[in-house]
């Protein structure tokens, strides 16, 4: 699927099970890795709250913001759950790396060869991502055919899923702010249950990185059903991990909407 580029070493600053980066703090090992790096690639959009420390300590480090010139959903930076936007992120990274190779690469390395490999890999990966996007297009059309103007509403438990919901035309009634630092009171949960009943909400989409206890409680007291989606922030590190996560999500959505 991709060419290995021997001249490039990629190190992830986060563990594969870190989850959302909003509250991630750099470790001593992270700072050591950054000190030896030529390029730091970030998602951007405010996702990495630690960037002030990085730019202060390493002013000469080349930083690639993958979300550059991409419109965010209400300051929600989980862009990759819309494959078309994720493809733009890949293009941003590709173009910035090529610019780096053109302007700053050591003369001892074959810049033309590295650029060729980067362009090949980017094209191959974008192709795979857009295959996922095509499947979402099919899902969007099936939703329109099945529901017409009476589109079903959903409640989501983290803003990440909003990108995928928007992509397939699934209305989000509201988002319940549920993360590691958020605890809902019994009164808040009771209000949500009442709103779900009154608004005829049929679907509750929570994410695997968070507890589904609130979603399950709402499900138990309403006619809505809870489903767990993969926000593609964890995985096994394989080259297909993003596609695998999105394929899983598509199957979850099919089961929710058509079965």
- Chain-centroid distance, C-alpha 210: 15
Task: Tell me the pTM.
Answer: 0.91
Question: Assign residue 177 a region: left if phi > 0, alpha if psi is -120 to 50, beta otherwise?
Answer: beta
- Output the 3-class SS for 51-86: HHHHHHHCCCCEEEECCCCCCCECCECCHHHCHHHH
Question: Can you read off the two tokens belonging to residue 81?
Answer: 């759950």
In the 8-state DSSP scheme, what is residue 26? -
Nearest to 68 by CA among 85, 51, 54: 85
Question: Can you read off the two tokens belonging to residue 258?
Answer: 């058509």
What is the three-class DSSP state of 100?
Answer: helix
**Rounded CA separation 82/240 (Å):** 16
Element (H, E) at 202: none
| Per-residue confidence (pLDDT) for residue 209, from 0 to 100 | 75
pLDDT digits (tens, 9 = 90+) for 74-129: 668 899 999 999 999 999 999 999 999 888 766 667 888 889 999 999 999 999 99
Confidence bin at 2 (pLDDT 50/70/90): confident
**Rounded CA separation 212/219 (Å):** 10
pLDDT digits (tens, 9 = 90+) for 55-78: 999 999 999 999 999 998 866 889
Of 188 and 41, the one with more pLDDT: 41
Position 206 pLDDT exceeds 60? yes
Nearest to 168 by CA among 203, 124, 208: 203
- Chain-centroid distance, C-alpha 127: 18
Calculate what percentage of the chain has a pLDDT beyond 70.
92
Position 22 pLDDT exceeds 90? no
Nearest to 226 by CA among 234, 235, 217: 217
Q: Whole-angstrom distance between the N-terminal and C-terminal Cα of the chain?
A: 34
């Amino acid at each position: 699927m991709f060419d290995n580029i021997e001249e490039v070493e990629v190190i992830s600053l986060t563990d594969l099970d870190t989850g959302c980066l909003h509250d991630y703090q750099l470790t001593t090992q992270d700072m050591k890795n950054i000190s030896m790096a030529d390029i730091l690639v970030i998602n951007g959009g405010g996702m990495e709250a630690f960037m002030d420390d990085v730019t202060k300590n390493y002013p000469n480090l080349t930083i690639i913001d993958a979300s550059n010139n991409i419109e965010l959903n209400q300051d929600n930076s989980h862009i990759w759950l819309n494959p078309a936007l994720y493809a733009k992120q890949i293009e941003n990274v590709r173009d910035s790396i090529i610019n780096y190779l053109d302007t700053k690469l050591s003369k001892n390395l074959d810049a033309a060869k590295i650029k060729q490999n980067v362009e090949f890999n980017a094209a191959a990966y974008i192709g795979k991502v857009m295959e996922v996007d095509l499947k979402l297009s099919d899902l969007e059309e099936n939703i329109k055919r099945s529901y017409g103007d009476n589109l079903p509403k959903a409640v989501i438990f983290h803003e990440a899923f909003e990108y995928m919901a928007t992509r397939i035309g699934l209305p989000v009634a509201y988002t319940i702010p549920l993360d590691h630092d958020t605890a809902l009171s019994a009164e808040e949960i009771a209000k949500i249950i009442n709103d779900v009943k009154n608004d005829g909400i049929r679907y509750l989409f929570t994410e695997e990185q968070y507890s589904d206890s609130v979603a399950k409680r709402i499900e138990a007291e309403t006619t809505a059903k809870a489903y767990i989606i993969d926000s593609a922030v964890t995985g096994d590190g394989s080259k297909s991990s993003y596609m695998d996560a999105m394929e899983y999500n598509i199957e979850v959505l099919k089961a929710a909407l058509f079965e």
